[in-house]
Amino acid sequence: MGAEQDERKVAPEQGGAARRRRGWWWWMWRVPVALALFSVLQVLALRFIDPPFSTVMLFRQVEALAQGEWGFRIHYQWRDLDQMAASVPISLVAAEDQRFPEHNGFDLQAIEKARANNAKGKRLRGASTISQQTAKNVFLWQGRSWLRKGLEVWYTVLIEALWSKQRIIEVYANVAEFGDGIYGVQAASRSYWNKDASQLSAAESARLAAVLPSPRRYSAARPGPYVQRRAAWIQRQARQLGGADYLEAGD
C-alpha cells in the first residue's frame, strides 16, 4: 500500500511538470508569431495611412522631457510626394542611396565597399539604404545593438515587400530628421525658409539632403563649407542620375 501511495503522489507531480513544459512551449512559438503578424499589420497599414509620428520622434520628445527641456516641441507636418518639389526625393537618393530604385532594400555592393573601406582602417563608412533608414526611423529606435539591427532587417524586408518605392521615399522624406526636433521636408522648409516644400529650389533640397545623417551637427539654413561642398556634389549627382525621372525606375 505504501508503494502504491508513493506512485500516486509522483504521477500528479510528473503530470504538472509536463503541463508546465507544454505551457512554456505554447508561449515560445505563439508569442514570436503574434509579434511577426503585428509587424506585418503595422507595415501594411502604413502603406495607406500617413504615420502621425515615428518612434524616433517619440523617443526624442521623451528624451527632452527627461532632460528638463519643457519647451521642446517636435516639428512635423506630412506632405505627399506630389506636394514636394521634384528636387527633394532625387536629392535624397543622390545623397543617401543612389541604387535605391534597383535594390530590394539592401545594397550589397555598398555593403562590400563599406566592409573593404573599414577593413583598411579608413574612416568608418556605412551602407544603410533609404529603405533601412525608413524602417529604423518609423518603427524602431536610435542606437546600436544586435536586436535593433535584426528588427531593422525584418522591417526593411516588410516595407520592400508591401510598399512601392514611391511610398518608401515619400515616408522617408517626411520622417527624416533635418534639425533637432525638425522632421520631414515640410517642417524643415517652413523652419528654415518659411516656404512650402513644393517651393523648394534644387539648391535648398540639396542642402537638406547634405545635412544627413548628422542634422544636429550641420545646418541647412546656415551651411558651412562642408554642407556647401556636399550640396553642390548632390546636385551634380542628381543630374547625372537623370533627375526626377530616375525614380520612375523603382516602380
- Place 74 in a pLDDT band, splitting at 50, 70 and 90: very high
Alpha-helical segments (H) within 164-211: 165-175, 185-193, 202-210
3-state secondary structure of 131: helix
Q: How far apart are CA 82 and CA 170, in angstroms?
A: 9
Give the pTM: 0.85
Identity of the residue numbered 247: L
Report percent pLDDT > 70 for the chain. Answer: 82
Q: Is the pLDDT of residue 155 over 80?
A: yes
Largest CA distance in the chain: 94
- pLDDT, tens digit, 9 for 90 and up, residues 105-121: 888 887 777 666 666 66
Average pLDDT (24-45) is 81
Which of 91-95, 127-131, 150-154, 228-232 shows the lowest mean pLDDT across its residues?
127-131
Q: What is the pLDDT of residue 248?
A: 78
Inter-axis angle of helices 130-139 and 2-48, nearest 10: 120
Tens-place pLDDT, residues 179-223: 999 999 999 999 999 999 999 999 999 999 999 989 999 999 999
Give the closest residue to 165 by CA, choosing from 103, 232, 76, 227: 103
Residue type, 61: Q
| 111 in Cβ contact with 104 (< 8 Å) | no
Based on the number of CB atoms within 10 Å of its own CB, is 26 exposed (0-12), middle (13-18) or buried (19 or more)?
A: exposed
Segment (H or E) for 182? strand 182-183
